[in-house]
A and B are shown apart, each in its own frame.
Chain A
Amino acid sequence: MNQRERISEYQLAVLIGAGFVELGLYSFPRDVAEVGGRQHFLTIGLLLLLGLISAWILVAVTLYFGRRSAVEIVLDVMGRPLGLIMSAAAIAYHLFLGAICLRYFTDLMNTYFLPRTPPEAVMLLVILAVVFVVGQGMAATARFATAMVPLFVGVVLVAYLLVTYKISEWGAVFPAVELWPPTFLLGTAKIIYLIVGLETIAFLLPMVGKVTRPYFWVSVPMLVNGVVLLVIIVVTYGVMGIEPVAQLQYPGVAVLRTLRLPGLLVERTGALIALAWTVLKIGYLAVRFTTVPMALCSCFGLSVSRFRIFLLPVAVLVFFIARWPANTVEVAALLEDWVGPLGLAANVGFALLIWLVGWARGKGVNQA
């Protein structure tokens, strides 16, 4: 693989983290409140454990097949026609995830900051930035993420804590736990799926230059993420209360908007910080914009390092999917219900399936 595409294990960890922390701020508390009921943030420990296990399975499978990209492994193990169908499904899914993410972000900007700007313009701007960053190679993206992500996570956490200090309703944070098993399981599955970043692992692990402690480096972001999300959730609930959180599109932004530091040049400091989250959004999209073209490369039998060929077509495609709200809103609504259990099952299940088939057909690196 091209040296320019090599990333370090630490950078992979940060990229995984960027993906789900980004999800966390915008909608995670709402998801928890909606899906699992108000008690759900307490289950985060369980989520982390399950997430870790599924991530480890993915890492194990990827390493078992000699650190090729997910699509390459699938094509090799499953044979061409079946593998292509599976890869196409994965690619479509990723395209829609990227588009949904983009659409939500654009809506957010339209709601709070740029009401008169057409959403297309914001989308175009963000896509251009993402393509620009991604076009410089995976290593550059990863370096960028390592420099920026920890910084922004820190800033947002501090801002959140400031908000808490100012206004909080701690009664909302420690309600009694009255668990109801089906809701609990469904919600847990969705949340694990959202935070684990399985696709990121599957697609980016092969790019890691030197794999020495894979399990460790995959579990680090998950634990950090667990802590960050816990803070975000507790603070959001503390400030907003449970019912309002469930009704908000972007609870994180709403919380930050209540932060106001009089006397600063930018007085609505919280809103500014919410805006600064754009950087993480771009990081998250950058991962999608890398994985999809790379998967396409594998499908067409090209080297993964030539993913730039597909970068612009993918960008155009994502733009057009996100362009019409029906595409994203309805697909999101469709995904909403079964994305958790199914996404998890799809990732871990397929990983296990492929491992089994590969083992039966003698395709693994350890066997060869």
Chain B
Amino acid sequence: MPAAGREEQVYSGDLQQAHHFFKVGIGQSDDFRVREFRLGGPTGPKAMLVYLERMISDSLLDEQIIEPAMHFGEPAAQDLPNAARILAESLTTRANVKRSRSMHTAEKAVLDAGVCLFVDGCAEFLMLDVTGFPERGIGQPATEHSVRGSREGMTEVLLTNLTMIRRRVKDRSLRIKFLRVGTKSNTRVAVIYIDGVANPAVIREVHRRLKAIPIDQVQGIQTLEEFLVDHPFTPFPLLRSTERPDEVARQLTSGKVVIMADNSPFTISAPSVLMDFYQTMDDYHFGFWGASMIRIVRLIGWLLTLYLPAIYIALIAVNPEMVPNKLALTIAATREGLPFPPMVEVLVIEVLLELIREAALRLPQPLGTTIGVVGGIVVGEAIVAAGLISPLMIIFAATTMLASFTSPTLDINFSWRLMKWLLIALAQIFGLLGIIVGSTALFGHLAALSSFGVPYLAPVAPMKPGDLGDTLVRLPYWALRFRPQHLRPVDRKRSGSYEHAEQFPELAEAQQEARDP
């Protein structure tokens, strides 16, 4: 039931009222616990703790709240109305203590793994944080491995994730704003940005869109993403998701707004452009020559994923005059006696590969590897030996599959693999012309996309020459002096200029011995 539909109840200091309030609400659940005791001793005022079982740490509750409360000493009668304040100041050693009078706040706190302490006769109650539900430890990110970067991946607990961000961006202007999304799940969503860097219009828009989400539950960041994007129908991801805290820190400092939801190890950042899906942390952990080379390899991988099967069909079936002589003869020889036309070949082998990929993903890890080997090698070998599919096709399909995994993020990989089929269909009818027209339409679509108002193809279209330093190549850090202009950051300047010292006279002198032995 939405909280807004109920009239506000204020705790009056009557334990019975609180009791009743919970009894008709969450108290109907069997994991709801009420612990009553007397404050300070056997004759002290009655007090009541409410919480959800196992959401809190029992030992903390015992040691740091119940035990001191019982030995607190009986408060004087005149102190009773201020008991909550006194308790907050001197009783508990828990750091996170809040006082409130609203019963709904109490309910929310309980649902959010808190403990509420009511004292009979005091019109305020305490909300204590003794969160103790079991959580997964910080592990390596599963989808974005890094060779030289940090090995930390985010977990399912929002606050843990926030600590990881805070540890990386120790700036007074780092803002973290909490919202609740999901009428049933009441998921805590954090909007994170650096004030004075991120574009205020984007911050406002993120808040507006998040508040407008009418869904009942949010179990992953994808749920939010589908509401937040500018173009709901496009197959392309418009918000970059990541599970790496260092990546998040990079996004924040470059002027993006990061959205994080409880129970999801992934974050999304707005605005995101196509290029963002090809930038990974590893690019920044390697030297810029190496990183640039990796970027170009990814570009080749992307081209192969999208175009190789379509070009195979176009060159074999529709425009064979384009192929060099000897290759054409070789192809003709390998295809002699095969029962299927190239289109069917591509269909069969691509579907087969997708099956293997999906099966390997769903099975437990060791079995998955086996499936990959069995599926890939054995079936591939057999299918060629049986004379059903040309060995050339196997090479092409395997290359395509391999190439598709060079894209560092999974969601963009899916998009291109989907678009591949459009090109395959067009290549089947119109050959190379079909591929070119298809690509034109595809890039026309990409040019029309935007993410929180930023054109998807930025910084290439519209062209922002200043932002090209971190696209196809990655320039060294000292050359990337400005934040991406297409994000319209408030403060464009990322770093000051730096002079690489050519000569250190003192150092040279000191090292004289080492140089001329």
> Count of A-B contacts with CB under 8 A?
102
Binds B, one of A140-148, A184-192, A301-309, A325-333: A140-148
Cβ B433 vs Cβ A122 within 8 A? yes
Binds A, one of B194-202, B217-225, B453-461: B453-461
Rounded to whole angstroms, the CA-CA distance of A115 and B432 in the bound complex is 13
B residues 413-435 with Cβ under 8 Å of A?
426, 429-434
Cβ A125 vs Cβ B315 within 8 A? no
> Which residue on A lies nearest to B324, using beta carbons?
A267
What are the interface flags for A282-316 relative to B under an 8 Å C-beta threshold, 1 for contact and 0 otherwise?
A: 10000000000000000000000000000000000
B residues 431-446 with Cβ under 8 Å of A?
431-434, 436-441, 443-445
Asked if A121 CB lies within 8 Å of chain B CBs, one says yes
What are the interface flags for A1-19 relative to B under an 8 Å C-beta threshold, 1 for contact and 0 otherwise?
A: 0000000101100000000
Asked if A279 CB lies within 8 Å of chain B CBs, one says yes
Contact pick for A268, options B322, B426, B448, B463, CB 8 Å: B322
Asked if B30 CB lies within 8 Å of chain A CBs, one says no
Cβ B444 vs Cβ A129 within 8 A? yes
> Which residue on B lies nearest to A148, using beta carbons?
B443
Known: A140-B444, A148-B443. A278 touches B324 (CB 8 A): no
> Contacts of A133 on B, CB cut-off 8 Å?
440-441, 444
Asked if A47 CB lies within 8 Å of chain B CBs, one says no
Contact pick for B322, options A126, A140, A272, CB 8 Å: A272
Rounded to whole angstroms, the CA-CA distance of A132 and B445 in the bound complex is 8
Cβ B444 vs Cβ A262 within 8 A? no
Asked if A320 CB lies within 8 Å of chain B CBs, one says no
Contact pick for B455, options A128, A143, A267, CB 8 Å: A143
Among A122, A141, A263, A275, the most chain B Cβ lie within 10 Å of the Cβ of A275
Among B315, B319, B447, B462, the most chain A Cβ lie within 10 Å of the Cβ of B447
What are the interface flags for A244-279 relative to B under an 8 Å C-beta threshold, 1 for contact and 0 otherwise?
A: 000000000000000000111111100110011011
User: How many residues in B have their beta carbons less than 8 Å from beta carbons of A?
Assistant: 34
**In the complex, how many angstroms separate the beta carbon of B304 from the nearest chain A beta carbon?**
12
> Which residue on A lies nearest to B437, using beta carbons?
A129
> Which residue on A lies nearest to B434, using beta carbons?
A125
Asked if B86 CB lies within 8 Å of chain A CBs, one says no
> Contacts of A117 on B, CB cut-off 8 Å?
429-430
B residues 294-343 with Cβ under 8 Å of A?
311, 315, 318-319, 321-325, 327
Cβ A143 vs Cβ B447 within 8 A? yes
> Contacts of B431 on A, CB cut-off 8 Å?
113-114
Cβ A114 vs Cβ B430 within 8 A? yes
> Contacts of B321 on A, CB cut-off 8 Å?
268
Known: A113-B431, A114-B430. A266 touches B457 (CB 8 A): no
> Contacts of A262 on B, CB cut-off 8 Å?
324
Asked if A342 CB lies within 8 Å of chain B CBs, one says no
> Contacts of A279 on B, CB cut-off 8 Å?
436, 439-440
Asked if A136 CB lies within 8 Å of chain B CBs, one says yes
Cβ A113 vs Cβ B433 within 8 A? yes
Known: A122-B430, A144-B461. A113 touches B444 (CB 8 A): no
> Contacts of B318 on A, CB cut-off 8 Å?
114
Cβ B437 vs Cβ A278 within 8 A? yes
> Which residue on B lies nearest to A125, using beta carbons?
B437
**In the complex, how many angstroms separate the beta carbon of B106 from the nearest chain A beta carbon?**
47
Rounded to whole angstroms, the CA-CA distance of A234 and B307 in the bound complex is 34
> Contacts of B323 on A, CB cut-off 8 Å?
265-267
> Which residue on B lies nearest to A131, using beta carbons?
B441
Asked if A37 CB lies within 8 Å of chain B CBs, one says no
Cβ A263 vs Cβ B324 within 8 A? yes
Rounded to whole angstroms, the CA-CA distance of A266 and B322 in the bound complex is 5
> Contacts of B443 on A, CB cut-off 8 Å?
144, 147-148
**In the complex, how many angstroms separate the beta carbon of B247 from the nearest chain A beta carbon?**
26
> Contacts of B444 on A, CB cut-off 8 Å?
129, 132-133, 136, 140-141, 144
Rounded to whole angstroms, the CA-CA distance of A268 and B432 in the bound complex is 12
Cβ B447 vs Cβ A144 within 8 A? yes
A residues 83-113 with Cβ under 8 Å of B?
109, 113
Rounded to whole angstroms, the CA-CA distance of A109 and B436 in the bound complex is 13
**In the complex, how many angstroms separate the beta carbon of A124 from the nearest chain B beta carbon?**
10
Rounded to whole angstroms, the CA-CA distance of A305 and B350 in the bound complex is 43
> Contacts of A137 on B, CB cut-off 8 Å?
448
Cβ A125 vs Cβ B430 within 8 A? yes
Rounded to whole angstroms, the CA-CA distance of A144 and B325 in the bound complex is 36
> Which residue on A lies nearest to B463, using beta carbons?
A146
Contact pick for A272, options B432, B447, B462, CB 8 Å: B432
**In the complex, how many angstroms separate the beta carbon of A340 from the nearest chain B beta carbon?**
31
> Contacts of B445 on A, CB cut-off 8 Å?
132, 136
Rounded to whole angstroms, the CA-CA distance of A128 and B319 in the bound complex is 22
> Contacts of A125 on B, CB cut-off 8 Å?
426, 430, 433-434, 437
Rounded to whole angstroms, the CA-CA distance of A154 and B324 in the bound complex is 25
Cβ A143 vs Cβ B462 within 8 A? yes
> Which residue on B lies nearest to A279, using beta carbons?
B440
> Contacts of B457 on A, CB cut-off 8 Å?
143, 147
Among A11, A121, A125, A143, the most chain B Cβ lie within 10 Å of the Cβ of A143
Cβ B432 vs Cβ A275 within 8 A? yes
B residues 452-489 with Cβ under 8 Å of A?
455, 457, 460-463
Rounded to whole angstroms, the CA-CA distance of A144 and B443 in the bound complex is 7
**In the complex, how many angstroms separate the beta carbon of B480 from the nearest chain A beta carbon?**
22
Rounded to whole angstroms, the CA-CA distance of A56 and B319 in the bound complex is 46
**In the complex, how many angstroms separate the beta carbon of A125 from the nearest chain B beta carbon?**
6
**In the complex, how many angstroms separate the beta carbon of B438 from the nearest chain A beta carbon?**
8
Among B322, B444, B455, the most chain A Cβ lie within 10 Å of the Cβ of B444
Cβ A278 vs Cβ B430 within 8 A? no
What are the interface flags for B209-242 relative to A under an 8 Å C-beta threshold, 1 for contact and 0 otherwise?
A: 0000000000000000000000000000000000
> Contacts of B441 on A, CB cut-off 8 Å?
128-129, 132-133
**In the complex, how many angstroms separate the beta carbon of B191 from the nearest chain A beta carbon?**
25
> Contacts of A278 on B, CB cut-off 8 Å?
433, 436-437, 440
Among B323, B445, B455, B462, the most chain A Cβ lie within 10 Å of the Cβ of B462
Rounded to whole angstroms, the CA-CA distance of A295 and B325 in the bound complex is 51
Q: Which 10 A-B pairs have the closest CB atoms?
A: A147-B461, A140-B448, A136-B448, A133-B444, A144-B447, A143-B447, A267-B324, A143-B461, A129-B441, A278-B436
B residues contacting A by CB (< 8 A) are 311, 315, 318-319, 321-325, 327, 426, 429-434, 436-441, 443-445, 447-448, 455, 457, 460-463
| Interface CB pairs A-B, < 8 A, 13 | A10-B463, A122-B433, A129-B437, A129-B444, A132-B444, A133-B444, A140-B448, A143-B447, A143-B455, A144-B447, A144-B448, A146-B462, A266-B322
New A-B contacts (8) at CB < 8 Å, excluding given A128-B441, A143-B448, A265-B323: A109-B433, A113-B432, A133-B440, A136-B444, A140-B447, A143-B457, A147-B443, A275-B436
